[in-house]
Amino acid sequence: MTNIQIYTQLSTLPSELRKQVGDFIDFLKFKSRKELPSKRVAGLAKGMIKMSSDFDEPLDDFNEYMR
């Protein structure tokens, strides 16, 4: 199928379907990338998550269940 044939078919579609075709093209480009994902770096989120001091304490909502 030539580019002109593809363009002709694409131009006859409603705008919402053209958007879906564009999204599918983006998906195919992404899927065909041959790059390997970069290696993970440990510690990038260090200090971003804080645990409450009473994290392990029983919750009041479960008092009836715990009896």
Helix (H, G, I), strand (E, B) or coil at 35: coil
pLDDT per residue over 5-62, tens digit each? 999 999 999 999 999 999 999 999 988 887 766 788 899 889 998 888 989 888 888 8
* pLDDT at res. 33: 83
How far apart, in whole angstroms, are the C-alpha atoms of residue 66 and residue 56? 15
- Predicted pLDDT at 62: 84
At residue 58, the pLDDT reads 84
